[in-house]
A and B are shown apart, each in its own frame.
Chain A
Amino acid sequence: EAGVVQSPRYKIIEKKQPVAFWCNPISGHNTLYWYLQNLGQGPELLIRYENEEAVDDSQLPKDRFSAERLKGVDSTLKIQPAELGDSAVYLCASSLGGGQGVDEQFFGPGTRLTVL
């Protein structure tokens, strides 16, 4: 079974440019998460989707960040315009979801963004 897939793995852009990250969760996983991981820190949640609905986007900087999961499967996270401080690893994770219990989150390999 394929794990969570993310692309690209690495991205280098100049500040003020737009950038987009793509994530394909594990097949059948209803819940999808985007996390930000700064160097030497733990992941921090940006947004969580239940199917196509963004149920928690309280940590997403909405002035420059946006996300979508139109068909409830794969998802795109966008930054426009990028700033120097956005350099980090962007992790996508998925879990079965759909119920009231807690289930394991599986992480993708991440996209390492460098903003020059």
Chain B
Amino acid sequence: GENVEQHPSTLSVQEGDSAVIKCTYSDSASNYFPWYKQELGKRPQLIIDIRSNVGEKKDQRIAVTLNKTAKHFSLHITETQPEDSAVYFCASLKRGSNYKLTFGKGTLLTVNP
């Protein structure tokens, strides 16, 4: 089955710096890659997603890039703020009738004021 590796497991940055989280996936049939933000004790919330027909997508301070050949995708957060502190999960979904999201293990991002 699909395997998603996520790095780093923890990331600490100063406010205003950029943060980059990287994920790799194993199944070349995967075609949908969402990123979720989960604050402590709260629900995962979708912050951005990308489909396999697009190489990059941006939404204000957040961007995601996808390299299908290398089977990896990355989350980029610019001008980080303390409220960006949370656990971020990448996920992949395989094309076909079984719409199963496979999640990475998460990255704990801490933005220091």
Given A43-B103, A55-B97, 17 more pairs with CB closer than 8 A: A40-B106, A41-B103, A42-B4, A42-B6, A42-B103, A42-B105, A42-B106, A55-B98, A56-B100, A102-B31, A102-B99, A104-B46, A105-B34, A105-B46, A106-B46, A107-B45, A110-B43
Contact, CB under 8 Å: A40 / B105? yes
A108 contacts B by Cβ under 8 Å: yes
Q: In the complex the two chains form, what is the Cα distance from A93 to B7 in whole Å?
A: 25
Against A, the Cβ 8 Å flags (1 = close, 0 = not) of B80-92 are: 0000000001010
Q: In the complex the two chains form, what is the Cα distance from A55 to B96 in whole Å?
A: 13
Q: In the complex the two chains form, what is the Cα distance from A44 to B3 in whole Å?
A: 12
Enumerate B92-110 residues with CB–CB distance to A below 8 Å: 93, 97-101, 103-106
Interface residue tally on B, bucketed by range: 20 to 34
Among A40, A55, A104, A110, contact of B34 (Cβ-Cβ < 8 Å): A104
Interface residues of A (CB under 8 A from B): 3-4, 31, 40-45, 48, 55-56, 91, 95, 102, 104-110
Contact, CB under 8 Å: B106 / A107? no
B10 to chain A, nearest CB (A): 11
Question: Which among A42, A43, A106, A110 has the greatest number of chain B C-beta atoms within 10 A?
Answer: A42
Contact, CB under 8 Å: A102 / B51? yes
Contacts of A95 in B (CB 8 A): 99
Q: Which 4 A-B residue pairings sit nearest by Cβ, starting from the closest?
A: A42-B103, A102-B32, A107-B43, A107-B44
